[in-house]
Amino acid sequence: MRIERARGTRDFLPAEMLKRRIMEAKMRDIAEKWGYEEIRTPTFELAELFTLKSGEEILKNMYEFKDKGGRHLALRPELTAPVIRMYVNELKMAPKPVKVYYFGNCFRYEEPQRARYREFWQFGAEIIGSDSPEAQAEIIALAFYCLKSLGIKAELYVGHVGLIREVLQAANMEEAEINKVMNLIDKGEREAVVEFMGGIGTERELIDDLISLVDLKGKDALNEARALKIIASNNDALKELEMLLKIIDYYDIVYTLNLGIARGLDYYTGMVFEIYKADGKLGAQNQVCGGGSYRLAALFGGADTPSTGFAFGIDRLAEIFPLETDDLKRKEVVVVPIKEKNRNPDVIKEAIKIASELREFFPTHMDVMSRSLSAQLSYANAINASFAVFVGKKEVKEGKVTLRNLDTGVQEKMSVEECVERIRNQV
Ligand code: HAM
């Protein structure tokens, strides 16, 4: 019986894994250079970690289940809530700000389509202990530099949910109603916003102003927002955003201000940002990164702690990662123990010794199928190996090996040390 993969999941073959490892190494290198440290949290958590504050969109897409002990668990749909839970449980005494990064798989029960999966990978970073404009700018800059290290060009949009939330709070809306409106704004459903707010009795003028606010984009958006009646002249979010944009400029980063960014998760309180690859290469699912400021620690039993972070969708990045083929070429060596009629333990012993030495430096294969010399050579050709090292009875006696360059066909007998040296010089 042929068993298919579960819907929305994928298998990653060696070439894809190699590409992902290369990408991961580049992003890890940047995060480390910015002073962030890697952490890892469990793949599943108590479901309430996410139900407390993650937002409607994620909750309806969560893989949740009862374990044999009757606990209500969920496969993580994202990593920010787990990271803050970990911080509250394990790291709250650490010097602030705590700066961490992570790679991990996430699970969302969504309708699978191009670049949207039920199991996908995120790479993210969080600054825990600050959501100052400096922290917010650093997080945006870190995301920008990670993308740059991959050679990917994409558009960065920065906004501030504090602005929208302040307006909705001033209109005396309840938290759940506010989240509902934020969710509709995130989905770009302006008419549904008007209908919903009208339905709960919000004044028409305020609704119109809100729609004008979330439609503001570009250089003049701040001034235009200031001119709106619903924005108080001493609006804190606006002041914070102004300072943030100034600091982002110091990082020399190109961005577009977009006051309509609402994000699909309910926990954001301040700056929010999203990065899109909008040149058609990713189709409809073209958001490669999302992030912002939030306060989750108090909700999970810790002190109120401002935090800022982001997460990239690695699967989407992998689709557009411009691959340097040089990065992928690994020179491989095949050690060929030459058997006569039967296996010769002395030859195998020597071949293993040589393979172990070579493995200090290069990916090295050795026959495990007791194949003939010609069968071992055709395997070496089939896997595109660069060198073959022959070990036969004669070689063992002389303490030598025969090295063949599989690209040129040239071969020569030499000592093991020289063989290692020769390959090293040619790799
Ligand atoms: P998010 O926007 O829900 O934010 O997800 C981050 C990124 O994960 C998205 O921009 C997208 O590239 C990728 N992604 C999301 N869903 C899928 C999917 N079904 N298939 C493939 N890729 C997907 C968060 O998760 C927040 N925790 C980000 C954050 C960190 N905010 C603060 N700190």
Quick check: is 100 in a domain? yes
Say what the pLDDT of residue 233 is: 78
Q: How far apart are CA 187 and CA 263, in angstroms?
A: 9
| CATH number of the CATH domain containing 133 | 3.30.930.10
**For ligand 1, what atom is nearest to the CA of residue 265?**
3
Ligand 1 pocket: which of 120, 187, 269, 312 to mutate (most atoms within 8 A of CB): 120
pLDDT per position as a tens digit, 260-315: 999 988 899 999 999 999 898 898 999 999 999 999 999 999 999 999 999 999 99
Which H or E element spans position 170?
A: helix 161-170
Q: How far apart are CA 35 and CA 187, in angstroms?
A: 35
Percent of the chain whose predicted confidence (pLDDT) is above 90: 86
Say what the pLDDT of residue 427 is: 65
> What residue's CA is closest to ligand 1, atom 1?
290
Same structural domain, 350 and 318: no
- Which of these three, 265, 293, 325, is where a domain ends? 325
Cα dihedral sign for 315, 258, 240, 295?
A: negative
**Cα 79 to ligand 1 centroid, rounded to whole Å:** 9
Q: How far apart are CA 85 and CA 35, in angstroms?
A: 21
Contacts (Cβ under 8 Å, ≥6 apart) of 246: 133
Same structural domain, 266 and 338: no
| CATH number of the CATH domain containing 348 | 3.40.50.800
> What residue's CA is closest to ligand 1, atom 15?
313
Q: How far apart are CA 94 and CA 202, in angstroms?
A: 45
pLDDT per position as a tens digit, 63-108: 999 999 999 999 999 999 999 999 999 999 999 999 999 999 999 9
Ligand 1 within 6 A of CB of 270: no
Same structural domain, 217 and 236: yes
**Cα 163 to ligand 1 centroid, rounded to whole Å:** 22
Quick check: is 1 in a domain? no
Ligand 1 pocket: which of 23, 84, 106, 140 to mutate (most atoms within 8 A of CB): 106
Ligand 1 within 6 A of CB of 380: no
pLDDT per position as a tens digit, 319-347: 999 887 766 777 899 999 998 888 899 99
**Cα 238 to ligand 1 centroid, rounded to whole Å:** 26
Quick check: is 8 in a domain? no
Quick check: is 9 in a domain? no
Ligand 1 within 6 A of CB of 116: yes
Same structural domain, 370 and 303: no
Ligand 1 within 6 A of CB of 120: yes
Quick check: is 134 in a domain? yes
Distances (CA, A) of 179 to 57, 183, 364: 11, 6, 56
- Which of these three, 325, 340, 370, is where a domain ends? 325
Domain count, the chain: 2
**pLDDT, mean of residues 148-166:** 95
Q: Which domain holds residue 114?
A: 14-325
Say what the pLDDT of residue 390 is: 97
Same structural domain, 195 and 299: yes
Distances (CA, A) of 414 to 347, 357, 377, 394: 16, 15, 19, 12
Ligand 1 pocket: which of 83, 101, 287, 314 to mutate (most atoms within 8 A of CB): 287
Say what the pLDDT of residue 326 is: 67
> What residue's CA is closest to ligand 1, atom 7?
313
Tokens of 351: 């071949």
Same structural domain, 227 and 255: yes
Q: How far apart are CA 240 and CA 242, in angstroms?
A: 5
Quick check: is 7 in a domain? no
Does position 59 have pLDDT exceeding 80, yes or no? Answer: no
Same structural domain, 248 and 137: yes
Cα dihedral sign for 367, 371, 377, 380?
A: negative
Tokens of 366: 């050795």
List the single range of 34-38, 184-188, 377-381 with lowest mean pLDDT: 184-188
Say what the pLDDT of residue 171 is: 87
Distances (CA, A) of 253 to 8, 28, 153, 256, 415: 35, 20, 12, 10, 56
Same structural domain, 269 and 386: no
Same structural domain, 298 and 336: no
**Cα 181 to ligand 1 centroid, rounded to whole Å:** 20
- Which of these three, 285, 307, 325, is where a domain ends? 325
Quick check: is 5 in a domain? no
Same structural domain, 336 and 314: no
Same structural domain, 204 and 340: no
**Cα 211 to ligand 1 centroid, rounded to whole Å:** 25
Contacts (Cβ under 8 Å, ≥6 apart) of 217: 256, 257, 258, 259, 260
DSSP structure string for 303-364: ----EEEEEEEHHHHHHH----HHHH----EEEEEPP-SS--HHHHHHHHHHHHHHTTTS-E
Quick check: is 260 in a domain? yes
Residues comprising the chain, all counted: 427
Helix, strand, coil percentages in the chain from 3-state DSSP, rounded to 5:
40, 20, 35
Does position 109 have pLDDT exceeding 70, yes or no? Answer: yes
Same structural domain, 25 and 154: yes
Say what the pLDDT of residue 341 is: 85
Does position 56 have pLDDT exceeding 80, yes or no? Answer: no
**Cα 313 to ligand 1 centroid, rounded to whole Å:** 6
Counting Cβ atoms within 10 Å, is residue 382 exposed (0-12), middle (13-18) or buried (19+)?
Answer: exposed
- Computed on alpha carbons and rounded to an integer, the radius of gyration of the chain in Å comes to 28
> What residue's CA is closest to ligand 1, atom 13?
313
**Cα 376 to ligand 1 centroid, rounded to whole Å:** 46
Say what the pLDDT of residue 136 is: 98
**Cα 105 to ligand 1 centroid, rounded to whole Å:** 11
